[in-house]
Amino acid sequence: MPDQLDLEPRAKIKILIFYVIFYGCLAGIFVGTIQALLLTLSDHKPTYQDRVAPPAPAPSALRGEAEHVTPQIHPPPMTLEVDTLSIRPVRATTGAQHDQRGHCGNETNEFSWLTPIIRSEAGQLCHAKCGPPAIAGNGKTGGYTNRGDLDSDVGTRKACMFKRSWLGECSGLNDTTFGFKYGKPCLIVKLNRIVNFRPKPPTSNDSIPEAAQSKVQPDVIPIHCSNKREEDQGKIGEILYFGLAEGFPLQYYPYYGKLLHRQYLQPLVAVKFTNLTLNQELRIECRVFGQNIQYSEKDRYQGRFDIKIHVKDS
């Protein structure tokens, strides 16, 4: 009996040592597996982008109080009710603020989407003039701006400038209500950011509506808006487009991600509806056109978006 009692503490110690070694090995295997997985991942680009949908255009509805409306991820159709005396966006969701670290200047603006542009124009040394040398002010564009591979040692990439004045009547410089006060609302449209994505302009007019065929240019992704329902034919009126070449120029692509492209400015296109039929709810669809931009019946915001606009005569 005494001998057996003396062996019990030893057995307990052996069992403890066994489990310490056993679980230590398991932890080591787990840590090693995670480290091996991390070695295969890039800090700048998602590993699996084969299932990333083509970019979806996201509209922003504007008003005097600067409400930012961005239906991007399967929202209900955006509805705008416009009185000539008052402006009331309906079913509007507030857009998320983007991280603007790295921009020059300390200026701020009540419109979140304008803030990076204002800061860029305050200190233009932070952004490059891309495309042909004469690009500043004359609306010319260039091809892709290649700033090296994602995994290269170049470091932080420069970004192309985007001037607020390029948005013309929808820039808010002369009309801070962006046309809503006069029943001629503006929408600001952008494409979703996809790392290292290079949109390809259409090479033919086969898939483009006749009214939009004149907008096809070699280095620009065109956008076109029209009535979505047959009964709205002829009720939309003239639609004006503002922006650099009235589309999405290739010189702003590819996008290198937040780590490498902190000062990136997305190209914007302003769409202004100048003669909407009053006192009727109109359904309008806008599409972007490109070789690698497809549309899906399962996702009606892939490569396109639609809105409802109701302008009231009060």
pLDDT the model gives residue 19:
93
The first and second tokens of residue 292, run together, are 């690698």
54 and 302 Cβ atoms separated by less than 8 Å: yes
pLDDT of residue 54: 62
Tens-binned pLDDT, residue by residue, of the chain (314 aa): 455 545 577 788 888 899 999 999 999 999 999 999 888 887 777 777 665 666 667 666 654 433 333 222 233 344 555 544 333 333 333 333 333 333 343 333 445 667 777 666 666 546 777 755 434 444 556 788 888 887 777 788 888 888 888 899 998 888 888 888 888 899 889 888 888 888 988 887 777 888 888 878 888 999 999 999 889 888 998 999 999 888 999 999 988 888 888 888 889 999 999 999 888 889 999 999 988 888 887 777 788 888 888 888 76
Cα 38 to Cα 51, 213, 283, distances in angstroms? 21, 47, 48
d(CA 199, CA 194): 10
> DSSP characters for 196-264?
T------SSSTTS-GGGGGG-BTTEEEEEEEESSGGGTTTS--EEEESGGGEEEGGG--B--TTT-TT-
Q: Which residues, at least 6 apart from 64, have a Cβ–Cβ distance to it below 8 Å?
A: 87, 176, 177, 180, 181
Structure tokens at 144: 């892709």
pLDDT of 274:
92
Distance CA 93, CA 71 (A): 7
Q: What is the pLDDT of residue 239?
A: 92
pLDDT of residue 271: 93
> Quick one: pLDDT at residue 93?
31
Q: Find residue 61's DSSP bridge partners.
A: 69, 187
Tokens (6 digits) for 142: 């260039």
Q: Lay out the sheet containing 247-249: strands in order across.
A: 87-90, 78-83, 304-312, 281-288, 220-227, 247-249
Q: Return the domain boundaries, the chain.
A: 1-40, 57-312
Residues 57-312: name the CATH superfamily: Na, k-atpase alpha subunit. (2.60.40.1660)
**Residue 197 · residue 215 · CB < 8 Å:** no
Per DSSP, 134 falls in state T
> For residue 51, what pLDDT is reported?
58
Within a 10 A sphere around the Cβ of 41, how many other Cβ atoms?
A: 10
Closest CA to 102 of 121, 126, 122: 126
The CA radius of gyration of the chain, in Å to the nearest whole number, is 27
pLDDT given for residue 140 in this prediction: 58
